[in-house]
């Protein structure tokens, strides 16, 4: 029997076809059709087959190539130095086998009965993003390209220049004639969630994961779209010309991977702070185990640890296989995706009336927790999944945080299964649901809906709004279910005796809640405005509007008569102006404002707020207007939000990044890279005492 007729040959051909199709969908079309865990398992099966039967290896096998072809639409460029892929290990036994092979290549195999000699290695988190090749000429960014097939990629320089964490000029006294830097572009989890929320609101298809969103962003034809998505970048590989000599203030030429990371950091690149220099294989395994749990607290997605031989001369001696370096390996964590069976489709009604479908499925362990529910966003996503009763679904945590349904497995669908759709009536109040043309959201428009009321109450008492301590979701449910509260104004008619009669409430807790409610009347006008829950008016917009319109009456007049004054406020557009107009024109909302005023709410800026905003009066004669602050680390007695509120009350601005235009960096314990950047730029640094003194001189604190 010839090799092509054996079961092994038939399976190898099938695997080559599956993997090639999946690679084309992922790298060329930007439309993944196979989960990473499935691809890895099939790839490993093919590799094992070819290792056992070398005669099955073909030139077109995915194991014989570095990567996929570049996508069309951008100019193709050849890399000065190729970008090879890494071999994978899926457990410590495979890591140890790699280490044994490495010792053999380096001619350092131990004698019989002796332990393996230690080699220093560097452990780096494997960021789940997109590899970039950066070319610098005489210190200036010349070109940026995608990885492509490893030999050539797509030039995306204009897009990459928008990444704020990436230097356009190297911070070197005597830069080399050329420098090649490799690193990972990524989208942080919070940004990814915001992008998908915006896409869902517009009825657009959602990105499958942060890496997919990053790839799609880098291929945008409009760099302004790239800039708006706030990509980040970590550098991890450096190539220098042989004749480069550092200037007097430059970092020395690196002789190891660890020194390369320090060189990159000194030259102005962002380097992942979680890398570690590891003395031996045991330390590598400990590092891998440590980050299996620690990575879940990171603000970006990771799927493993990259292990590299530290000594660059030993790297050269180890060399490369046809597709990967022998001196590095990617040690991957177990897949965080799992199949489950759909139990039912339920719906949630939010405070604005938006009805969100939710998949409830048999609980499965994912990323350290047991998950049994995942949002399906809207009717379009539900239709896109083509979900049927009893379907088997693939579930994962997006960015290892938010549970999501990746796809359905139709082959496992029960016979006669019914297709699932959103209901036509509200699951809370039975009112007819409405979906306006051009909107992705389906809404309940009954203002008396209990679900909308509960959401409005939770929002009103939240930290960013009136900040009423002791009034949680369970208590709000009791108040609504028993008919004790019909609007946020009704909260202020509750007495301690009524509250004490509720579950989990005693006399003392009831008295404390009455006091907290009374104290909330003194919250600033911007918090009162935000607490009203007007569609599109978030915390930042509420602050801007409260500064421009000093009372609810002024804002209501502008909304109905001069909306152009609203859109003239920085950051406020026509959509917000229209939302304000609709809100203030609604009779129920007018009645709510009247009741709140009767209860003692100012619904207007206080004299202190006016003084701080206008820079007039005794308290405002030395405000911090025009000065920008950056907060980093943990302050002894002030939370970050408290410090920000004090600075803004004095007219200052709080930014999230340090630049030459920053006035002060306020640093507490465990301050990070922002402090280092401030020191390198010569920006003034304050501790909490220094901040308090500055605020005191500005009249912002007593």
Q: Which residues are catalytic?
A: 126
3-state secondary structure 516-567: HHHHHHHCCHHHHHHHCCCCCCCHHHHHHHHHHCCEHHHHHHHHHHCHHHHH
For the chain, report the end-to-end CA distance as a whole number of angstroms.
Answer: 92
Q: Which residues contact 571 (CB under 8 A, 6 or more apart)?
A: 540, 541, 544
Phi then psi for residue 584, to 5 deg, are: -70, -20
Q: How far is CA 596 from CA 26, 529, 532, 690, in A?
A: 55, 12, 11, 39
For 649, the 3-state DSSP assignment is helix
> For residue 684, how many other CB atoms are within 10 A of its CB?
12
Nearest CA among 560, 547, 552, 548 for reference residue 529: 552
Q: Which residues contact 446 (CB under 8 A, 6 or more apart)?
A: 353, 426, 429, 431, 452
Nearest CA among 543, 475, 481 for reference residue 514: 475
Nearest CA among 337, 334, 27, 279 for reference residue 153: 27
Question: In the block, which residue shows the tokens 């390209």?
Answer: 145
Residue 132 and residue 233 in contact, taking contact as beta carbons nearer than 8 Å: yes
Nearest CA among 70, 571, 557, 582 for reference residue 352: 582
b vs e for 193-208, b when ≥16 Cβ sit within 10 Å of the residue's Cβ?
bebbeebbeeeeebbb
Residue 262 and residue 251 in contact, taking contact as beta carbons nearer than 8 Å: yes
- What the block records as the tokens of 655 is 């930014």
Write down the H helix ranges in 53-171: 92-105, 157-160
Residue 352 and residue 537 in contact, taking contact as beta carbons nearer than 8 Å: no
From CA 368, how far away is CA 540, in angstroms rounded? 34
From CA 693, how far away is CA 406, in angstroms rounded? 53
From CA 285, how far away is CA 36, in angstroms rounded? 23
- What the block records as the tokens of 526 is 């911007």
Nearest CA among 343, 65, 335 for reference residue 209: 335
Residue 281 and residue 263 in contact, taking contact as beta carbons nearer than 8 Å: no
Can you give the C-alpha Rg of the chain in angstroms?
A: 30
From CA 193, how far away is CA 173, in angstroms rounded? 40
Residue 94 and residue 52 in contact, taking contact as beta carbons nearer than 8 Å: no
Residues in the chain: 702
Angle at 258 between CA 255 and CA 261, to 5 degrees: 100
Question: Max alpha carbon distance in the chain (Å)?
Answer: 98
- Sign, Cα dihedral of 296, 297, 302, 306: negative
Q: DSSP character for 568?
A: T
Phi then psi for residue 53, to 5 deg, are: -135, 80
Phi then psi for residue 672, to 5 deg, are: -105, -140
Residue 386 and residue 408 in contact, taking contact as beta carbons nearer than 8 Å: yes
From CA 322, how far away is CA 85, in angstroms rounded? 10
From CA 656, how far away is CA 250, in angstroms rounded? 28
Element (H, E) at 381: helix 379-385
Residue 422 and residue 355 in contact, taking contact as beta carbons nearer than 8 Å: yes
């Amino acid at each position: 029997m010839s090799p092509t007729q054996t079961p092994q040959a038939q399976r190898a051909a099938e695997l080559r076809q599956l993997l090639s199709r999946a690679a084309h969908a992922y790298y060329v079309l930007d439309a993944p059709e196979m989960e990473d865990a499935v691809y890895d398992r099939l790839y490993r099966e093919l590799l094992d087959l070819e290792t056992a039967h070398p005669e099955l290896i073909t030139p077109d096998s995915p194991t014989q190539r570095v990567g996929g072809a570049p996508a069309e639409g951008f100019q193709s460029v050849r890399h000065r130095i190729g970008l090879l892929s890494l071999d994978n290990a899926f457990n410590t036994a495979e890591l140890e086998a790699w280490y044994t092979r490495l010792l053999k290549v380096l001619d350092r195999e131990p004698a019989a009965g002796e332990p393996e000699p230690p080699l220093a290695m560097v452990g780096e988190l494997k960021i789940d993003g997109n590899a970039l090749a950066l070319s610098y000429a005489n210190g200036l960014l010349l070109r940026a390209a995608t990885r492509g097939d490893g030999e050539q990629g797509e030039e995306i320089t204009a897009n990459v220049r928008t990444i704020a964490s990436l230097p356009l000029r190297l911070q070197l006294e005597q830069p080399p004639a050329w420098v090649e830097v490799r690193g990972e572009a990524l989208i942080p989890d919070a940004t990814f969630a915001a992008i998908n929320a915006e896409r869902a609101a517009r009825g657009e298809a959602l990105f499958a994961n942060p890496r997919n969103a990053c790839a799609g962003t880098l291929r945008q034809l409009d760099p302004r779209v790239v800039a708006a998505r706030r990509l980040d970048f970590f550098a991890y590989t450096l190539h220098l010309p042989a004749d480069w000599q550092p200037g007097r203030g430059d970092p020395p030429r690196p002789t190891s991977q660890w020194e390369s990371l320090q060189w990159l950091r000194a030259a102005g690149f962002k380097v992942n702070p979680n890398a570690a220099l590891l003395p031996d294989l045991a330390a590598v395994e400990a590092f891998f185990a440590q980050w299996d749990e620690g990575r879940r607290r990171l603000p970006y997605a990771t799927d493993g640890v990259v292990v590299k031989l530290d000594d660059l001369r030993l790297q050269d001696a180890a060399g490369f296989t046809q597709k990967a370096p022998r001196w590095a390996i990617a040690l991957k964590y177990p897949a965080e995706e799992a199949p489950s069976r759909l139990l039912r489709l339920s719906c949630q009604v939010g405070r604005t009336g938006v009805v969100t479908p939710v998949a409830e499925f048999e609980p499965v362990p994912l990323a350290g927790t047991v998950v049994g529910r995942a949002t399906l966003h809207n009717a379009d996503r539900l239709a896109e999944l083509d979900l049927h009763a009893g379907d088997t679904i693939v579930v994962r945590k997006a960015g290892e945080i938010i549970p999501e349904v990746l796809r359905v497995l139709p082959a496992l669908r029960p016979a006669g299964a019914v297709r699932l759709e959103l209901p036509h009536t509200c699951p809370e109040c039975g009112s007819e649901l409405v979906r306006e043309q051009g909107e992705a959201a389906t809404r309940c428009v009954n203002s008396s809906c209990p679900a909308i009321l509960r959401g409005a109450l939770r929002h009103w008492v939240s930290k960013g709004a009136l900040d009423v301590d002791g009034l949680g979701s369970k208590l709000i449910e009791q108040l609504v279910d028993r008919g004790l509260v019909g609007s946020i104004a009704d909260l202020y008619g509750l007495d301690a005796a009524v509250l004490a009669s509720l579950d989990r409430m005693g006399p003392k807790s009831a008295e404390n809640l009455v006091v907290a409610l009374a104290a909330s009347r003194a919250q600033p006008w911007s918090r009162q405005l935000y607490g009203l829950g007007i569609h599109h008016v978030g915390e930042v917009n509420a602050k801007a509007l409260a500064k421009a319109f000093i009372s609810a009456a002024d804002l209501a007049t502008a909304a109905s008569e001069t909306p152009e004054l609203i859109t003239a406020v920085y950051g406020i557009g026509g959509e917000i102006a229209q939302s304000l107009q609709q809100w203030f024109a609604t009779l129920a909302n007018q009645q709510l404002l009247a009741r709140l005023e009767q209860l003692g709410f100012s619904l207007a800026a206080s004299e202190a707020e006016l003084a701080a905003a206008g820079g007039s009066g005794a308290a405002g004669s030395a405000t911090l207007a025009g000065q920008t602050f950056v907060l980093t680390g943990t302050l002894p007695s002030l939370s970050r939000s408290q410090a920000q509120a004090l600075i803004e009350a004095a007219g200052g601005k709080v930014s999230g990044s340090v630049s030459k235009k920053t006035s002060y960096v306020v640093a507490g314990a465990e301050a990070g890279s922002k402090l280092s950047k401030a020191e390198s730029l010569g920006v003034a640094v304050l501790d909490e005492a220094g901040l308090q003194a500055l605020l005191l001189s500005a009249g912002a604190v007593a």
